[in-house]
Amino acid sequence: MAKLKFQITMSLDGYVAGPGQSPENPLGEGGGALHEWAFATRAFRETHHLEGAADGETGLDDEHAARWNENVGATIMGRNMFGPVRGRWGDSDWTGWWGDDPPYHTPVFVLTNHARDPIQMQGGTTFEFVTDGIESALEQARAAAEELDVAIGGGAETVQQYLRAGLVDEMEIHVVPLLLGGGSRLFENLDGRPAGYECTELVSSPAVAHFRYARKS
Amino acid sequence: MAKLKFQITMSLDGYVAGPGQSPENPLGEGGGALHEWAFATRAFRETHHLEGAADGETGLDDEHAARWNENVGATIMGRNMFGPVRGRWGDSDWTGWWGDDPPYHTPVFVLTNHARDPIQMQGGTTFEFVTDGIESALEQARAAAEELDVAIGGGAETVQQYLRAGLVDEMEIHVVPLLLGGGSRLFENLDGRPAGYECTELVSSPAVAHFRYARKS
């Protein structure tokens, strides 16, 4: 059956964004370094249309970065992950952080309190704005993904909402040896631990340890 | 120069003991599983006089477990790590969790608010009780260790005190894929991040990822 899954990079001290986050600096102080391991890989560079993709690293981290959109038919993300605009959309022309051709190439459902018309991007990505909660977003994303999986794109709050609701089937946490000292904690606001998961894989490179979990069947 | 260092095992969600800690259950709910990786190793089984030590696992995790008392001439620990007795010692005959021959084989300085006479154990371990703070304990431990290193035995609060004071030279965090959901967080109460460290090693087995840090010189 199609799964709901996410992957996210966390510092050793538990943060997926650094302290002092702001609309202009969404990853917070030092938070950009969280993703250096991914930026170095060929898979990430290719999916994100970065220059010199062919020179990207291959190997373990590349294999894990490549899973990012593997078998994914739709993505759900929080509004802060989509962009810095707060409150009503008004006449905002914000269409995400990712340029004209975002790396998703599928429908992306953005959780928000404020309705907005869908936005059609190049390369098959559409942003659709969901105002009636996480279950509705998941239902719409599952329908759009057909037999493929649905990914949660982030950020921490959105992931926590789905974990609290017990809806996540698989997760992969990439732990990097950064100490950020503040910011958005991934494992917080969960009413206890996410129960019923088992670690199915733990591997590491010198840059990052990959912890993969699946819901016990 | 002799170093101040520690190593500690943490769940992926950041805890070094589980929720619901009590004097009778110092590792909290689920916290015992933190140390399963270490219990499986030959080095841990030997230093802790466990049965079947020769059958313990060798390999990566064993090498890291073996560092636990490598080059260590003295240990500092918090009172809760030493035992469940609270307040004044009175006529308590508590001598630690480790039996007659504790695995330290060196002086161990226990941070407490309540004076107590030193306790001489078998095998070279002595417990000395320090009532005048972490700097004093470190000074006494350094003197006792002579040219060897001083280890912080735990728990989280004691480690945090030395990190906050900027006194730690090296640390190794063993991250296991447990999700405990509560308990004692290692990276908390630090007034921001422990600054000035670099990761010198990141390796993993299927059971645990070992993150090693050193203070940048």
Q: What is the DSSP string of B159-183?
A: HHHHHHTT---EEEEEEES----SS
Residue A139 neighbours by CB under 8 Å, 6+ apart: none
Q: Omega into B166 within 30° of 0, i.e. cis?
A: no
Lowest average pLDDT, out of A116-120, A147-151, A194-198, goes to A194-198
> What does the pLDDT average to over A73-78?
98
Compute the nearest-CA separation of A123 from chain B (Å): 36
Mean pLDDT value of segment B142-167: 96
Q: Which of B185, B197, B204 lies closest to A209 in CB terms?
A: B204
Q: What is the pLDDT of residues B59-96, one digit of tens each?
A: 999 999 999 999 999 999 999 999 988 889 998 899 99
pLDDT attached to residue A1: 77
Predicted confidence at residue A25, as pLDDT, reads 87
| Structure confidence at residue B111 (pLDDT) | 98
Instruction: Tell me the pLDDT band of A167, cut-offs 50, 70 and 90.
Output: very high
- pLDDT value at position A50? 86
Q: Which helix (H) or strand (E) holds A201?
A: strand A197-204
- The pLDDT assigned to B23 comes to 79
Percent of chain B, pLDDT > 90?
Answer: 84
pLDDT averaged over every residue in chain A = 94
Provide the mean pLDDT of chain B. Answer: 94
pLDDT at A151: 98
B167 falls in which pLDDT band (50, 70, 90)? very high
pLDDT of residue A54: 87
Given B181, B194, B209, which is nearest A193 (Cβ)?
B181
Q: How far is A202 from chain B (nearest CA, A)?
A: 5
Lowest mean pLDDT among A65-74, B45-54, B92-101: B45-54
Q: Which residues of chain A have a Cβ shorter than 8 Å from any chain B Cβ?
A: 12-14, 19, 173, 175, 177, 179-182, 185-187, 190, 192-195, 197, 199, 201-209, 211, 213
Q: Answer whether residue A194 shows pLDDT above 90.
A: no
pLDDT score recorded for residue B24:
82
Q: What is the pLDDT of residue A23?
A: 79
For residues A9 and A38, the answer to whether their CB atoms sit within 8 Å is yes
Residue A192 confidence class, pLDDT cut points 50, 70, 90: confident
Distance of alpha carbon A58 from alpha carbon A126, whole angstroms: 30
User: Can you spell out the DSSP letters for A81-146?
Assistant: HH-S--S--TT-----SS-SS-TT-SEEEEE-SS----EEPGGG-EEEEE-S-HHHHHHHHHHHHT
**Mean pLDDT of the A43-64 span:** 91
Q: Phi then psi for A76, rounded to 5 degrees? A: -120, 135
Interface confidence: ipTM more than 0.90: yes
Contacts of A173 in chain B (CB under 8 A): 12
Query: Are the CB atoms for A181 and B193 separated by under 8 Å?
Result: yes
Q: What is the pLDDT of residue B51?
A: 85
Binning pLDDT at 50, 70 and 90, where does residue B192 land? Answer: confident
**Mean pLDDT computed over B32-36:** 96
In the sheet with A107-111, reading across from the earlier edge strand, the strands are A119-120, A126-130, A107-111, A72-78, A149-154, A4-11, A170-176, A209-215, A197-204
Residues A87-111 have pLDDT tens digits of 899 988 999 999 999 999 999 999 9
Indicate the pTM of the whole model. 0.95
Residue B16: which of B155, B142, B145 has the closest Cα?
B155
